[in-house]
Amino acid sequence: MKAMYLYPLLLACFLQVLPLSQAAKKEPTKSSLASRVEQLTDLSNRRPVIRLNGNRFRDLVKASPRNYSIIVMFTALESGRQCAICKQASDEYQLVANSYRFSPVFSNKLFFAMVDFDEGPDVFQSMKLNTAPVFMHFPEKGKPKKQDTMDLQRVGFSADVIAKWVQERTDTQIRVFRPPNYTGTVALLMLTSLIGGLLYLRRNNLEFLYNRTAWALIALFFVFAMTSGQMWNHIRGPPFVQKTQNGGVAYIHGSSQGQFVLETYFVMLINGLIVCGMIMLMEAGDSKGDAGKRKALGIVGLGLLAVFFSLLLSIFRSKAGGYPYSFLFR
């Protein structure tokens, strides 16, 4: 009889203990998530871009569950790694993180972090990364998809482009605030002072202001600068060059929507040589000069025009996919 009363009593105790044990199992997960968010918030308040090593990356980025998104830049900033663009990309990334940190949209739902190869080589190995820099978004739920890796080859890595990509992945709009740069203002003041001083010293002899050749050279330089894309560089701030996925360096941007600073210098030089070829051809057409000299000018001018126009057309063809025409160079 005692056993008949004992079994229901044990069953009741078991049913009461079971929910408590389940709650105890869930409690560490909640406290762990809250601890991670608190740690990330504290680190972000100290430094907008959180430096991660292997252990921190596994604890704060890869651990689940998560109720926050985190943007991670994988880079190699040590000079011995010979990453030509990592420092530039890091500066632009830091600019976005600073803008977010001191903006009204700052919250504990989005964080910015960085993993340097020398601080977390195991992270690069686990993520199967063999190049740098790489920008990756780790969403609140699930694993990163293809769209969560920023396509640097196509869009570059300027601060505005990074902020736009972050908005697409997280719905968080970040307005980039660049620190004031007085280099252009100082250079303009120095140039104005130099020109003013030159005019003052030669105030009694200003015939050089009527020199057509000097004004023509100034006009040509201005045209070359504008047609090569220098104003676009000033507005968008593209990188000087860019590292390719196979470890090389790209001097020409692969898309018609972007360009590199060095690329604009190439285009400026090519345009100048094409103009030189045209001038030589026009001089060769002057019947008053020596016949041998005119013939040499014509051959050299025609060669310059053909070769460098073909090179310019080849560059355009590589940037504009599907363009069917070429001359001399593919």
- Can you tell me the distance from the alpha carbon of 77 to that of 63, in angstroms, rounded to the nearest whole number? 26
Nearest Cα to Cα of residue 57 among 34, 35, 73: 73
Is a pLDDT exceeding 50 seen at residue 20?
no
Q: What percent of the chain has pLDDT over 70?
A: 87
Mean pLDDT along residues 104-121: 90
pLDDT of residue 28: 40
- Can you tell me the distance from the alpha carbon of 178 to that of 236, in angstroms, rounded to the nearest whole number? 12
Mean pLDDT along residues 93-105: 90
Indicate the domain borders of the chain.
Answer: 24-170, 207-319
Mean pLDDT along residues 125-140: 88
Rg of the chain, C-alpha, whole Å:
31
- Can you tell me the distance from the alpha carbon of 30 to that of 35, in angstroms, rounded to the nearest whole number? 8
Average confidence score pLDDT of the chain: 81
The amino acid sitting at 190 is M
What CATH number belongs to 24-170?
A: 3.40.30.10
Reported as a single tens digit per residue, the pLDDT across 241-291 is: 777 766 677 788 877 777 888 888 999 999 999 989 998 888 887 767 677
Largest Cα–Cα distance of the chain, in whole Å?
A: 135
- Cis peptide, bond prior to residue 324, ω within 30 of zero: no
CB 97 within 8 A of CB 46: no
pLDDT of residue 330: 73
Is a pLDDT exceeding 90 seen at residue 195?
no
Task: Report residue 27's pLDDT band, with 50, 70 and 90 as the boundaries.
Answer: very low
Return the ∠ at Cα 130 (arms to 128 and 135), rounded to 5°. 80
Q: Give backbone dihedrals phi and psi of 115, rounded to 5 degrees, phi first.
A: -125, 115
Note the helical H segments in 244-290.
Answer: 261-284
The set of residues, in sequence order, having a beta carbon less than 8 Å from that of 102 and lying 6+ positions away, is: 177
Q: Angle 261-284/212-228 helices, nearest 10 degrees?
A: 140
Task: Report residue 17's pLDDT band, with 50, 70 and 90 as the boundaries.
Answer: very low
Residue recorded with tokens 């005119």: 294
Mean pLDDT along residues 195-212: 77
- Can you tell me the distance from the alpha carbon of 251 to that of 253, in angstroms, rounded to the nearest whole number? 7
